[in-house]
Structure 1
Amino acid sequence: MKKITFIVLLLISSLSWSQVLLINELDPDSPSTDTAEFIELKSQTPNFSTDGYILVFFNGSSSGGDKSYMVIDLNGYSTDINGLLVVGSEGVAPFPQLIISQNVIQNGADAVGIYQASVGDFPEGTLATQTNLIDAMVYDTNDSDDTGLMALLGQTMQYNDNGTNTNPKSIQRYVDDMDNVTFASATPTPRRENDGSGININPISISVAQTQYNEDAVFDITFTSETSTTSDLSFNISLDNYGFNSADFTGDTSLTIPNGQNSVTTTITLIDDANDEGDEVAKIKFLDLVEPVVASNNFVEVRIVDNDFTIAPFGTPLNPTTGIVQSTQPDGYYDSLDGLADIALRQALQDIIADPTIVRAQTYADVLTILNEADQNPANSNQVWLLYTEEGRAKLDVQTGSDNTNKWNREHTFPRSLGGFFDIEEDEIADGIDVYWTTKADSLRHGNSDAHALRAADAAENSTRNNQHYGEYNGPSGTMGSFKGDVARSVLYMEIRYNGLSVVNGFPDITGQLGDLETLLNWHRNDPPDDFEMNRNNIVYNWQKNRNPFIDQPLLVEYIWGTNVGDTWMQSLSITEKEVDNVQVFPNPTNGRLFVSQLNMSAKVEVFSIDGKLLKRFNDVNDYIDLELASGLYLLKLNIGNQTAIKKIIVN
């Protein structure tokens, strides 16, 4: 009888390890921001190579259809001395062996499976299957059972995470003395056996007092082990990260925690050079910890603020300048518009900015590179200038995860959901200026990555704006509205550039339409183009080989949407003719009398409203004119021989 019992127990034991890898623990929802989610695998033997295995995650929602949404390749990894392999984000402690992005494991009802297969066997959208399946778990966070997903994976139970923000939990696998397998929701135990057994690990944490230091600063890094050491513990660290390396600092990187102690500190001195390198990030990481000593955290980032930033010769949108940055449009770029009106003018303009033999489309990922240059803060080259909130923000603070606090991202001035354009897989690749798509007026999808209509924006404010029409959305309260003309010219460009888009009055709910036209025309008139906008027009032109014509020729807006619709366009009406730099008008602002100096001959002076209407003409001007105009902003056109000077003036 004892022999039979032994055989039965042996059979049960062998059945419980019929797979070489098991799902030992899963935490899909810790905390609410999902910065500490992970999955832990367990092998029958320690230090087991996971080459040839993959993790496949399935979306059990009605829209997901029980199909795959993410695959993780386990090639090149192995379990640890306890047979555990943790796959998780950088917020997990102790630190995972395999890092994934935050907030990518869905909460449920969903599933994950271990397969002996390759990544190519599971393209996105593959229906859940038992083919080559090693182990699977169907789970949820207080959701109804997905019986269809369970059937597809051959599972009879769906497990509930059941955690909260204040009491995070994970789904954990337990085996009792009789080798009965159960699952329970409990406090997460990554890199440790769920029942407390196994070899004790000793995690070491990295800590610094601040997350940011100036280039000439001195700071300490402290390394603290969870338990005191039983012998001298020596290890090496690195701070290298892209351009930041050992030439940028001094300090010990080979360290020892003495026997019986639990911490060691190294002092880092940052070298203050004279190079404009931009802000950099030191990444503190362990190089050679040996189990059972493991990293509690790792890849700790410290920003090094470069004090050698440059300042542009032109102003920010809050302190605009004009006439410093000249358009880089080729000679004759807009000549084909002369003599045209209305629909013919529209078509000729589209023929220029959507010419498929010249114009290029870049990827959505490339736009980040473009914005770092095009939206660079004129007052600090290490920052981008943010639309709407009217402030600079470090280029390094681009949003990469779910956290949008004090981050910036790419804002579509013509919202994607209203425009009907979208991402494709290739958009995720930043392949540079010399790799591009051919594009034309019907290539509406390329509106997704058209840098003329994408701006750096505060990520939280971008979320607040959502897909509201302008007029519904007027920017944050307390701002000066310096973005308004930029936005207007951006979305008006989109109407001409892409067939299928239009800017209309009101707040439509029709795909392809954006409002409110009347609001945007007023924004354009009251906030004319400045040097910041001209500079970004030049930079985007360098990438896309097309320009926003309403920055180069702002009066065109009136001939297409405004007060001059139906009139014939001639470039001589433009305010972008070559300026005569030495001619001065003063005082500016003026109460009415305006003096003109540095004239070497009599001039003819024309005064235009900001929307391009001729208001007054003065002939044979030698010294001053009396404007007798209402308070406001005006354009002064001085014709001096065969040259023209354009000046903006303010009448008090």
Structure 2
Amino acid sequence: MKRLLLLTILLINMSGWSQVLVINELDPDSPSIDTAEFIELKSQMPNFSTDGYILVFFNGSSSGADSSYMAIDLNGYETDNNGLLVVGSVGVSPFPQVVISENAIQNGADAVGIYLASVNDFPEGTLATQTNLIDAMVYGTNDTDDTVLLGLMGETVQYNDNGTNTNPRSIQRFVDAMDNESYSTATPTPRRENDGSGNAINPIAIAVNETLYDEGASFDITFTSETNVTSDLNFTISLDNFGFNTADYTGNIVLTIPNGQNTTSTTITIIDDAIDEGDEVIQIQFVDLVEPEVASNNFVEVRVVDNDFTMAAWGTPLNPTTGIVQSTQPADYYNSLDGLADIALRQALQVIIADPMTVRAQTYADVIDILKEADQNPENSNQVWLLYTEEGRPKLDLQTSSNNTGKWNREHTYPRSRGGFFDIEEDEIADGIDIFWTTKADSLRHGNSDAHALRAADAAENSSRGNQHYGQYNGPTGNLGSFKGDVARSVLYMEIRYNGLEVVNGFPNTTGQLGDLATLLDWHRNDPPDDFEMNRNNVVYNWQFNRNPFIDQPLLVEYIWGNNAGDIWDQSLGTNDHKFSEASMYPNPTNGKLYFSGLNDAIKMEVYSIEGKLLKEFKLVKNSIDLDLTSGIYLVKLFNNNQSVVTKVIVN
């Protein structure tokens, strides 16, 4: 009799279900911030394993063609005591059981489906289908109905979330007393039944006063539950995250909220070691909470600033130095250019920097690691130097979500849309320096990840620049122009490196062309290469096995595009092949008079304009000389016996 009664109860409870797992709630758009998007699934029975199930999201836009853009594997998860499983970003509270990136769920008109399948069945771009479909929802944010997508998913209604900045809404499933299923919009209720029923949960929040501390500092972490606990609540937290571990701090991580109370705290002291390990991030997370206690938030991050950073011997682009960093080019790297002019000079240069037997192409993800080294701030090894905004930024502040405030990312000096570059799926994998593609002059796609033309830049400023031509875009207001020569040499490199690219006068709309050549030549002349740029040339060379010749040999620019176009090139004018004795020349900048020390013999000196024109010749027989030149930037070449050196001199 008891068995019959239990069976009757189960049949009653299951009578309103036609699927094992359904979409219970969807918030596809948290307006203006997109940090709290989620989808909530509900099972017939609590603690239901979702092994074998996947979530697939479909793009209903004209470009998306009603095809998949994201598939999420649900293997290894289970629903909670209320039969709920929340898949969402870290801004969702209570915290989701399955975490996805912010802004990953598109707004609509789109669709999502639960499938009994493998994620391998839905590579990106797979047309929506009802095969193995368990449940589906077509939704929008005040979008026109996508009738094609509705038909593909076997649905008849496209639901709208109607959310606003001040009144967030989600699409929620309701079942009435007669087991009729319906959907409506309401204030989001992740990890709670939409109708307020079910087992109560008690979310616990993590709070810290600051999100950035120096090594050696102490700080408190406070834990507060939504309601008082009914018995002592013991729980453990972890602070570990990549290189940060228990060797880096002291403090209690096993905690108790006493019976009848709702808060506890711990004090953590960060150990001030002598190791230059870079800035690190503490990730505060719960280890062993058991329902009804759940995480209100989790993976709370606290930055640890390493005070053991190092400084380079050379300056930043704002305070440039020259002559400290030497080119690592092979001794004969540019020898094949001598005696050539015009097209022959261009072609010979391309043979060097696009040689498919030597040059390597890395993935777009690898570029992040390249820039962390190549664009490292000379004044702080824990930072990158930002191109347009002319400042340092912690390497850890790489943009990884839609939020670009205070973040840095990869800037294409030759914009992708102008060059016709694109990436492929393999570009999303950082596979290291020893894994690469063979590349050649016709490999235009590889321009997408060519580090000679990619720079660390403030993410918001990068967005402001967009794909504007230089001359249209001249940097943020108040910039000092320290990036301009770097930019010019990077895009001129691209023209020679890849067939199909051209730097031209004006502001063209033709793919493959970038302007403005006259502006860029001016930038090159007025901001010559410095040690920062030479160092990054050396770093990129280690990865790509090619160099930017206009850093090593800046006068080449004049012989290809500028005042010496058509003249025969002789690299002896611009090379620093030899270390030049112990002589020094000062001050620099100068008001016109130069002093010399360490001169043991008579020395010949030649002074050139920045365009490479010989202006004056001197024979130095004393320790000073008056240049008698107008204000500007000049190149000074010193000869002693069979050695020579070229250096930049600024005349005020």
The answer (yes or no) to whether the contact 1:238–1:287 under 8 Å persists in 2 is: yes
After superposition, the Cα gap between the structure-2 partners of 1:131 and 1:592, relative to the gap in structure 1 and judged at 3 Å, is closer
Partner of 2:397: 397
- Deviation of 1:627 (Å): 2.1
- Deviation of 1:579 (Å): 4.2
Partner of 1:162: 162
In the TM superposition, what are the counterparts of 1:328-343 in structure 2 within 5 Å?
328-343=328-343
In the TM superposition, what are the counterparts of 1:241-640 in structure 2 within 5 Å?
241-619=241-619, 621-640=621-640
What is the TM-score of this pair, normalised by structure 2? 0.97
Partner of 2:239: 239
- Deviation of 1:596 (Å): 3.0
After superposition, the Cα gap between the structure-2 partners of 1:350 and 1:202, relative to the gap in structure 1 and judged at 3 Å, is same
Moved more, 640-649 or 484-493: 640-649
The answer (yes or no) to whether the contact 1:585–1:595 under 8 Å persists in 2 is: yes
- Deviation of 1:622 (Å): 3.7
- Deviation of 1:26 (Å): 0.3
CA separation in 2, counterparts of 1:597 and 1:234? 73
Q: Which amino acid aligns with 1:74?
A: L
Cα deviations by residue, 1:457-486 (Å, 9 ceiling, x for unpaired): 000000000000000000011111000000
CA separation in 1, counterparts of 2:12 and 2:127? 32
- Deviation of 1:52 (Å): 0.7
Secondary structure of the residue that 1:550 maps to in structure 2? helix
The answer (yes or no) to whether the contact 1:57–1:70 under 8 Å persists in 2 is: yes
Q: Which amino acid aligns with 1:100?
A: I
CA separation in 1, counterparts of 2:428 and 2:10? 51
Q: Which amino acid aligns with 2:296?
A: S
- Deviation of 1:13 (Å): 7.0
Secondary structure of the residue that 1:16 maps to in structure 2? coil
- Deviation of 1:16 (Å): 2.9
Partner of 2:4: none
- Deviation of 1:33 (Å): 1.9
Cα deviations by residue, 1:106-153 (Å, 9 ceiling, x for unpaired): 111111111111111111111111111111011111111111111111
CA separation in 2, counterparts of 1:201 and 1:280? 34
Secondary structure of the residue that 2:616 maps to in structure 1? strand
Cα deviations by residue, 1:129-187 (Å, 9 ceiling, x for unpaired): 11111110111111111111111111111111001011000000011111111111000
- Deviation of 1:68 (Å): 1.0
After superposition, the Cα gap between the structure-2 partners of 1:182 and 1:12, relative to the gap in structure 1 and judged at 3 Å, is farther
- Deviation of 1:644 (Å): 1.2
The answer (yes or no) to whether the contact 1:608–1:614 under 8 Å persists in 2 is: yes
- Unpaired segments of 5 or more residues in structure 1? 1-7
Q: Which amino acid aligns with 1:554?
A: P
CA separation in 1, counterparts of 2:419 and 2:619? 49
Q: Which amino acid aligns with 1:515?
A: G
- Deviation of 1:590 (Å): 3.4
Secondary structure of the residue that 1:364 maps to in structure 2? coil
Secondary structure of the residue that 1:350 maps to in structure 2? helix
Partner of 2:5: none
The answer (yes or no) to whether the contact 1:577–1:646 under 8 Å persists in 2 is: no
CA separation in 1, counterparts of 2:231 and 2:11? 43
CA separation in 2, counterparts of 1:521 and 1:306? 41
In the TM superposition, what are the counterparts of 1:114-153 in structure 2 within 5 Å?
114-153=114-153
CA separation in 2, counterparts of 1:645 and 1:63? 57
Cα deviations by residue, 1:245-282 (Å, 9 ceiling, x for unpaired): 00000000000000000000000011000000100001
Give the number of equivalent residue pairs. 645
The answer (yes or no) to whether the contact 1:606–1:615 under 8 Å persists in 2 is: yes
CA separation in 2, counterparts of 1:442 and 1:520? 24
Cα deviations by residue, 1:548-585 (Å, 9 ceiling, x for unpaired): 00000000000000011111111111153434252122
Q: Which amino acid aligns with 1:223?
A: F
- Deviation of 1:12 (Å): 9.3
CA separation in 2, counterparts of 1:465 and 1:89? 29
The answer (yes or no) to whether the contact 1:634–1:649 under 8 Å persists in 2 is: yes
After superposition, the Cα gap between the structure-2 partners of 1:297 and 1:593, relative to the gap in structure 1 and judged at 3 Å, is closer
Q: Which amino acid aligns with 1:92?
A: V
The answer (yes or no) to whether the contact 2:15–2:179 under 8 Å persists in 1 is: no
Partner of 1:3: none
The answer (yes or no) to whether the contact 1:253–1:266 under 8 Å persists in 2 is: yes
Secondary structure of the residue that 2:79 maps to in structure 1? coil
- Deviation of 1:523 (Å): 0.3
Partner of 1:184: 184
Percent identity, please: 77
Q: Which amino acid aligns with 1:426?
A: E
After superposition, the Cα gap between the structure-2 partners of 1:77 and 1:564, relative to the gap in structure 1 and judged at 3 Å, is same
Q: Which amino acid aligns with 1:301?
A: E
Q: Which amino acid aligns with 2:214?
A: N
Secondary structure of the residue that 2:365 maps to in structure 1? helix
The answer (yes or no) to whether the contact 1:86–1:98 under 8 Å persists in 2 is: yes
What is the TM-score of this pair, normalised by structure 1? 0.97
Partner of 2:651: 651
- Deviation of 1:11 (Å): 9.0
CA separation in 2, counterparts of 1:239 and 1:246? 8
Partner of 1:212: 212
Q: CA RMSD in A?
A: 1.5
- Deviation of 1:340 (Å): 0.6
The answer (yes or no) to whether the contact 2:576–2:645 under 8 Å persists in 1 is: no
- Deviation of 1:647 (Å): 3.1
- Deviation of 1:361 (Å): 0.3
- Deviation of 1:501 (Å): 0.4
Partner of 2:224: 224
